[in-house]
Structure 1
Amino acid sequence: MTYFTCFFLDNEKDIIVDLYKDLDKLFFILSTPNHATGNLIRNLAKACKVPLSQDVEGKFIIKGEVPCYIDGNNEESYSFRLGETEVASIYPDGSVDVKAGIPAIAKTLMSQTKDFRLDLDKTIFKTYVRKDLKFRGDLHTHMNGNLPGDILIALGIYHQIRYPLYYVKKLDIKLTDAQWEKVNAQREKVARQFISSGLQGKYLDRRINDNTFINFADLILNNLDNAEMNIVKIRGSLAVIKDGQAVFTNLEKVYLYRYVFCKGKESEDKIELQRIDQIPDEDVKRALKQMLKDKENPAYCGNTIFQDKLLWIARNYKKQGVYYAEISDTTLVKKYESLEMLRQVHEVMPEIYQETGVMLRFLAAMRRIPLTIVKDAVTPANYLEQNLEVLKATALDPYVAGCDFVGEEINDIITLKPAFKEIVKIASKDPSFVIRVHAGENDSQKDNIAHSIACVKDSLAPGQKMPRMRLGHGLYTYSPTSKKGREVLKQLKENNVVLEFQITSNVRLNNLNSLEHHPLKQYLKQGIMCVQGTDGAALYGTNSIDEELSLEKMLSLSEADLKLMKDAETKIIEESQKAYSDKKAAFTQLLAGRDLEEVLLEKMKAVKISKRLDKGDPKIDANQELKEQISEITWDRLPVVLLGGSFNTENRSTKITAKGKEQLDALLDYLSPEDACFVIGHKFAGYEKYLLDHNDKGFRIYAVVPALITKKEADKIKSSGVQVRVSTEAQGMGIYKSFNYEIFERRPSMVVAFDGNSAAANLIQEAKNGKGFSEIYVWSHSKTLQQKAKSLHGYVHTFDEENPIVKAIGKLQQEIADKLNSKKK
């Protein structure tokens, strides 16, 4: 057999169909090489009712013959099918017409579990939608999550960006001997600058490697023997994890990988861009060739990386049939960076619009909590005041449609109410100004939808109309039949608030584990305006068309439902296009021939938020207050993470039961203090308190606490006698990230989960994703955590009075022992 061609069943190029010819017969091999667990291909084979085979390396594949057909014109074509679905037509000239695919949401759910149970019609979709129902906007997306990895890789080559040695090593990128010699020589020079830094060990290595670079064009074009695998690894780093759901920590890390390209700096050591035709990836090659053509176009020849990013975002949208997008970006609230961004937007957007017909506008994004993933970043205490100072000016620009509160939803938005007062003042001068809040994305803050509306309403001046308001995600609030739920629906309708839905990101970021109770149809039925976004499509392997198909198929939306969404979107786009025209005229008059930067700097007026943003008791530094109790988790005992008190929503407490206490008593009796220690959260409530009160055998207990705590919390922790690990996160709902870093990524562990909301679900997902093997046990009486457990079938064990935890642990340990013994034999 000779190799013929290949195609992919998904946007991320994870599901590959290789085609081979033998005389006039065509054969296929379907593989999923980027998915290590094998869950994806096993579940796909099961859904399609086809047998699995193994390749020479022992990896699972699906293989078979592609039948040939002759049409009425006596022309041949081959039809590739999965189940009853025609997926692709393959023609003798090697061209492939892909008619159906596997959306990112189905791929994630298949990767997540050992027992996938969705029907085939929710697994493989025909890739078309009715023209009159096709969504034409992307009203919820993020600047640096928008472009597919292949386009970013092509941009990296074209602009010859600096690629850090840290990522070369982290991703195991293969360099030639000559490239290693050159980069190591540069590393020696960089290392000399850190002799007096005070850094040691891995921290010193990381800093040196972060500041040692290779020209990315050199990495690819002068290393073609390794280019195919290197591109696959780099592409994989630019999307959230493959084998299952991610959590917010993973998303933040992906953004760091993307910043290398999206905020890239050009290498000083340029090379000739040659041997383009030898790049093994067709999409990277095609994009790079177009970029080289653009260099001959006067409109684009001087483009910066940012301007090329805008150009390719617009081209990507045009390809999807989208002609209006509002992109959230934190740059627009940074003083000098915002001015440079807007200058570049004004320079290039008219030409981009002329070519593509796509209008790009922006939402100035402010973080609801400071970013902690960048270790050396220092966020000033008055960062929101600084953001608002800049927003007062940038909001005048016609390309700025409004503002956005972004970041992981682990705090009550009501704590930021003083900031809304300033935002509403801006909206009073611009009726088109959009106020968007990320709210209801997870179940940790069920008041956030209502509180977001209240923050705006309560800030209105006498007689001021309600500004345009949108809520991103809107998944979680109170039951619509409850008193609070009915009030939320009333507020949404009365204030014309628009809800934005992004189903793929909800699933891939572990915020949606069951599709049965998705609220979209209920909102549409109640007359709430709802639209679709992508949330930064490329991060999640989706696009506008796949997202619409996913909403339709996964949630069983009718044509009437889709039309309601289409009408809401059309209304917003028409209003926004008019707003752009009106603001452009006003902005031109404001500038009056003066420089944009000069005028906007004059408009940046200092903002003072008189009322303290944090409600409740003042916070103190846990590192200082608890320094006598801080201790590394011992390495000579198995950490047992107990969930049942600290990982609930702020206003919800865990109720311990007699049956639950029996299970915990049995666990304490079964485990030995010489072999195990316990790790809990910071609230010391529910089953955590029971553990502390009944620790008769003297288990060592560690508490992971937020970086900022109240005096009352500090006193409780001090009097408990526990040892402490202080998280980098200031918010209690974010400390699950530290469990991942301290335990799940580094060592074996056990998780025993009695209760919790989204933070507990995130911690369980981190335990499953971690490099260290974790035994995970979930109490069957916890409704919220059982949804998580079901989505991780084969990785999570349920316990209750009929299946006691001690029995479940013993059974698993016996299974592990049997496997080890069989391997020895």
Structure 2
Amino acid sequence: MIFFQQFYLDKEKDIAVDLCMEGDRLFYTIRTPNHHTGNLITNLARLCSLQTEEDDRGLKVIRDEIPCYYDGDNRKMYILRLGNTKIANIFPDGRVEMKASIPAISKTLMSQTRDYRLGVAKTIVKTYIRSECKFHTDLHTHMNGNLPPDALIALGIVRQLRYPYYYIKKLGLKCDPTQKAKLEQRRAETEKKLGETGLTGKYRDRRIDDHTFINFAELILGNPADAQYNIDRIRNSLTIPKDGQAVFADLEKVYLYRYVFTKGLPAEDPFSGINLALIPDREVLAYAEQMRRDRETERFGSNTLYQDLLLWIAREYRRRGIEYAEISDTALLNRDLFAARLREIHEVMPAVTRETGVMLRFLAGIRRIPLTIIRDRITPNDYLADNLQILRAIAGDPYVAGSDIIGEEINSILELRAVIRELVRIAGEHEGFVIRIHAGENDSLRDNVANSIDCVKEALAPGQPMPALRIGHGLYTCDLKTARGRKLLEDIKELGVTLEFQITSNVRLNNLSRLDNHPLRRYLRAGIACVQGTDGGALYGTDSIDEELSLEKLLGLSFEELKKMRRADERILQRSRQVFEQRMAAFREDCGAGDAEKWYQRRLEETPRITQDLWKESGRIDAAEELKELIAPLPEGLFPVVVAGGSFNHSGHRTVIREEDQQMIDRLLDTLDPAKTFFVIGHSLTGLEGRLAARNRGRFRIFAIVPTRISRAEKKRLQEAGVSVRISIESSGMGLYKSFAYEIFKRMNSVLLAFDGNAPAMNLIQEARNGRGKCRIFLNPRSRGLSEKAKLLEGYVRPLTEDADIAGVVEELR
């Protein structure tokens, strides 16, 4: 057989179709090389009534022949069908005309379970959208999540960005001997420059590797033998994990990989004699060749990296028929970057819009909690006040559409009431200023949507109209069928609040598992304005077209419902154009032809600082200081049993302590061996975790993982319970799942016993399922939420019942 062509059934290049020709007969092989569980390929084969077999690497594949046809014009073509759905027309000259694809949502759910239950119609989707309901905006997206990995890789090559040694090691990239020797020499020099720091062990090693670089063009083009292998692994690092659902911690790590390309710096050693023809991947090559042509033009030849990102974001939107996008970007509130960013935007956007017809506007991103993913980078306590001072200085800029409160939703929006009050004040001074709040993304804080609206409403000055308020996600609220829910629907409609939906990111980030529970249709029936976003679609293997197809095919939205969303989309588009024209006229009058960067720096100097404390902390105290006598390392040589039975709740979700569950805790204490095992629990010691600590009587070592800030009541319970503690780097209890993953699931074998919980427990379970160590997960079938998770993780979890042999499993995994 002779290789003929290759294409993909999905946007992320996860489901590859290799075509080989034998005479006039065409054969295909479907591979899923990034999915080592085999769930994706197995479920796809079962769905399409096909058989799997193993390739030479031991991975499952599907192989079959593609029939040949002649159409009415005597054109010869091969037609690939899966599940009685036409996938592609394949022509003898190698052209592939795609007719259907597999959305990222369906692919994720197929990867997550061994028992996939969605049908063909919701898995293999025809890629057609009626013109009357085609959306033309992306109103919920993020700056560094927009571009597909292939475009970022091409940028790294053409701009010769530096690439850290740490990522080469982390991703298992291949270097030739010359590259390896150069990196080791540079690493030694970096270590010498670093000198003494407070970092030790692996943290010091990471700091050294993070500051040891190779020219990315040299990494790819200087080692052509391994170029495709390296591109494939780098591409995978630029989207969230694919073999099942992920959690927000995974998203944070992907952003770090993307920052190499979106915030990168040129390598200090230019790589001479760049030959783009050595790029083995045709999509990366196509991007790189156009980027090189751009550098030879007057319009874009002097672009900065940031300006190239804007140009390519607009080009990607043009391909999908998007005319207007609002991009959330925290850099606009960075004291060192904001003025230069605005200058770059003003310089390049007129040319970008002339070429593409796409208007890009920006929402200045305010983090709802400080970042904790980098252990030695400390976010100042006054960062909110600093953000708001900068926002006051730039709020009238024509390209700044408004603000956005972003980040993982693990704290109540009421903690940011003072921030919202300042945003409403700014909106009162700048007509058309958008306030967008991420709220209702998970089920832990179901009051956040209502509280967001209330915070805005109560902050209005006398006579001030309601600003343009948008809620990002709005997936979880109080029960909309109750009197309280109906009141919320009335308020949203009356106040003109717009809700934004991004279902692919909801599924892929473990916030949505059952599509039939989605509230979008109820909102539309209530006459509420709803729009679509992508949430930075390239992170999730989606784009605006795939998102709309998912709304239609997976949520079952009707033509009329999609038209309602299109009308809301159109209203925002028209209003944004008016606001931009008004602001641009005012900007030209104020700034004239002067240097926008210097102008904004002067404006910031003239803008008063906010001196008040903007955090509402409710008297929380420093856990490391208050519990220092309880802090201890996890014991070596003992096996961890993680118990989730109350600490992993939020939003008023209270664990019902049943007699049978109490008996199970008692049996654990009777049957496990304290010389071989220890327990790990959450910090609040509620529910069955409290029962475990109370009945233990000092026999087993029990460790509670504790956030950096705790209440005095939590301190007292921990001191009285006779437990040891590990202090997390997370400030909120809802973020502790990351520390459980770091301390246990990624380092050792374990058992997880989940008795109850909502979103924090779901993230804990998902981290256990995704961890490097083997974890046997037991879920309580009496908990409604956990039973739903069990269905989605069919084949990966076991029922937590009285006949569950926990001791036997512990002994097996030790």
For the aligned pair, the TM-score class normalised by the smaller chain equals: over 0.9
- Does the aligned pair in 2 maintain the 1:403–1:436 contact within 8 Å? yes
Tell me the CA shift for residue 697 of structure 1: 7.1
- How far apart are the structure 2 equivalents of 1:300 and 1:805? 68
Tell me the CA shift for residue 182 of structure 1: 1.5
- How far apart are the structure 2 equivalents of 1:662 and 1:711? 30
Tell me the CA shift for residue 489 of structure 1: 0.9
Tell me the CA shift for residue 807 of structure 1: 4.0
- Does the aligned pair in 2 maintain the 1:418–1:609 contact within 8 Å? no
What secondary structure is seen at the aligned counterpart in 2 of 1:768?
A: helix
- How far apart are the structure 2 equivalents of 1:367 and 1:787? 31
- How far apart are the structure 1 equivalents of 2:287 and 2:17? 22
- How far apart are the structure 1 equivalents of 2:735 and 2:198? 30
Partner of 2:711: 710
Partner of 1:355: 355
Tell me the CA shift for residue 702 of structure 1: 0.5
2:665 corresponds to 1:667:
no
1:207-606 matched pairs, under 5 angstroms: 207-604=207-604, 605-606=607-608
Tell me the CA shift for residue 199 of structure 1: 3.5
1:669-818 matched pairs, under 5 angstroms: 669-696=670-697, 698-800=699-801, 804-807=802-805, 810=808
Aligned-partner residue type, residue 612 of structure 2:
S
- How far apart are the structure 2 equivalents of 1:53 and 1:106? 22
CA RMSD, Structure 1 to Structure 2 (Å): 1.5
Tell me the CA shift for residue 85 of structure 1: 0.5
- Does the aligned pair in 2 maintain the 1:326–1:362 contact within 8 Å? yes
Partner of 1:613: 615
Aligned-partner residue type, residue 266 of structure 2:
E
- How far apart are the structure 1 equivalents of 2:76 and 2:545? 30
- How far apart are the structure 2 equivalents of 1:540 and 1:639? 33
Partner of 2:136: 136
- How far apart are the structure 2 equivalents of 1:294 and 1:767? 46
Distance 1:743 1:813, change over 3 A: closer
- How far apart are the structure 1 equivalents of 2:108 and 2:767? 15
- Does the aligned pair in 1 maintain the 2:68–2:76 contact within 8 Å? yes
Aligned-partner residue type, residue 529 of structure 2:
M
- How far apart are the structure 2 equivalents of 1:744 and 1:336? 38
2:126 corresponds to 1:145:
no
Tell me the CA shift for residue 332 of structure 1: 1.0
In terms of mean alpha carbon deviation, does 197-206 or 110-119 score higher? 197-206
- How far apart are the structure 2 equivalents of 1:305 and 1:805? 60
Where do 5+ consecutive residues of structure 2 fail to align?
none
Aligned-partner residue type, residue 806 of structure 1:
A
In terms of mean alpha carbon deviation, does 689-698 or 41-50 score higher? 689-698
Aligned-partner residue type, residue 610 of structure 2:
K
In terms of mean alpha carbon deviation, does 197-206 or 38-47 score higher? 197-206
What secondary structure is seen at the aligned counterpart in 1 of 2:696?
A: coil
In terms of mean alpha carbon deviation, does 711-720 or 209-218 score higher? 711-720
What's the CA shift string for 1:596-655, capped at 9, x where partnerless? 233323433234363652242x22221121111111111222111111111111433222
- Does the aligned pair in 1 maintain the 2:427–2:433 contact within 8 Å? yes
Aligned-partner residue type, residue 595 of structure 1:
D
Partner of 2:32: 32
- Does the aligned pair in 1 maintain the 2:384–2:614 contact within 8 Å? no
What secondary structure is seen at the aligned counterpart in 1 of 2:260?
A: helix
What's the CA shift string for 1:681-724, capped at 9, x where partnerless? 11111111111121157111110111111233222211221000
Distance 1:373 1:352, change over 3 A: same
Tell me the CA shift for residue 474 of structure 1: 0.5
Partner of 1:641: 642
- How far apart are the structure 2 equivalents of 1:632 and 1:179? 39
- Does the aligned pair in 2 maintain the 1:40–1:107 contact within 8 Å? yes
Partner of 1:823: none
Aligned-partner residue type, residue 649 of structure 2:
N
Distance 1:200 1:378, change over 3 A: closer
- How far apart are the structure 1 equivalents of 2:714 and 2:195? 41
What secondary structure is seen at the aligned counterpart in 1 of 2:499?
A: strand
- How far apart are the structure 1 equivalents of 2:806 and 2:212? 50
- How far apart are the structure 1 equivalents of 2:763 and 2:72? 56
What's the CA shift string for 1:488-511, capped at 9, x where partnerless? 112111111101000000000000
In terms of mean alpha carbon deviation, does 496-505 or 331-340 score higher? 331-340
Partner of 1:628: 629
Partner of 2:202: 202
- Does the aligned pair in 1 maintain the 2:639–2:810 contact within 8 Å? no
Tell me the CA shift for residue 72 of structure 1: 1.8
- Does the aligned pair in 2 maintain the 1:799–1:808 contact within 8 Å? no
- How far apart are the structure 1 equivalents of 2:520 and 2:609? 38
- How far apart are the structure 1 equivalents of 2:169 and 2:751? 30
- Does the aligned pair in 2 maintain the 1:670–1:806 contact within 8 Å? no
2:111 corresponds to 1:124:
no
Tell me the CA shift for residue 787 of structure 1: 1.7
Aligned-partner residue type, residue 10 of structure 1:
D
Tell me the CA shift for residue 58 of structure 1: 2.1
What secondary structure is seen at the aligned counterpart in 2 of 1:335?
A: coil
Where do 5+ consecutive residues of structure 1 fail to align?
821-825
What's the CA shift string for 1:491-534, capped at 9, x where partnerless? 11111110100000000000001111100011111111110000
- How far apart are the structure 2 equivalents of 1:61 and 1:518? 34
What's the CA shift string for 1:555-600, capped at 9, x where partnerless? 1110011001111001011101111111111111121444323332
Aligned-partner residue type, residue 804 of structure 2:
V
- How far apart are the structure 2 equivalents of 1:739 and 1:199? 22
What's the CA shift string for 1:320-367, capped at 9, x where partnerless? 111100000001111231110010011111100000000000000000
What's the CA shift string for 1:289-344, capped at 9, x where partnerless? 00111111100000111110100000000001111000000011112311100100
- How far apart are the structure 2 equivalents of 1:646 and 1:152? 41
Aligned-partner residue type, residue 606 of structure 1:
P
- Identity among equivalent positions (%) equals 51
Partner of 1:72: 72
What secondary structure is seen at the aligned counterpart in 2 of 1:269?
A: coil
In terms of mean alpha carbon deviation, does 738-747 or 374-383 score higher? 374-383
Tell me the CA shift for residue 451 of structure 1: 0.5
- How far apart are the structure 1 equivalents of 2:698 and 2:45? 50
Distance 1:639 1:85, change over 3 A: same
- Does the aligned pair in 1 maintain the 2:473–2:499 contact within 8 Å? yes
- How far apart are the structure 1 equivalents of 2:810 and 2:99? 47
- How far apart are the structure 1 equivalents of 2:105 and 2:154? 26
- Does the aligned pair in 2 maintain the 1:88–1:98 contact within 8 Å? yes
What's the CA shift string for 1:214-267, capped at 9, x where partnerless? 000011111111001100000000000011011010000000000000001001
- Does the aligned pair in 1 maintain the 2:708–2:729 contact within 8 Å? yes
What secondary structure is seen at the aligned counterpart in 2 of 1:284?
A: helix
- Does the aligned pair in 2 maintain the 1:663–1:805 contact within 8 Å? no
- Does the aligned pair in 1 maintain the 2:364–2:400 contact within 8 Å? yes
What's the CA shift string for 1:30-75, capped at 9, x where partnerless? 1101111111000100111101111122211100111000112222
- How far apart are the structure 2 equivalents of 1:375 and 1:136? 41
In terms of mean alpha carbon deviation, does 708-717 or 6-15 score higher? 708-717
- How far apart are the structure 2 equivalents of 1:217 and 1:135? 38
What secondary structure is seen at the aligned counterpart in 1 of 2:597?
A: helix
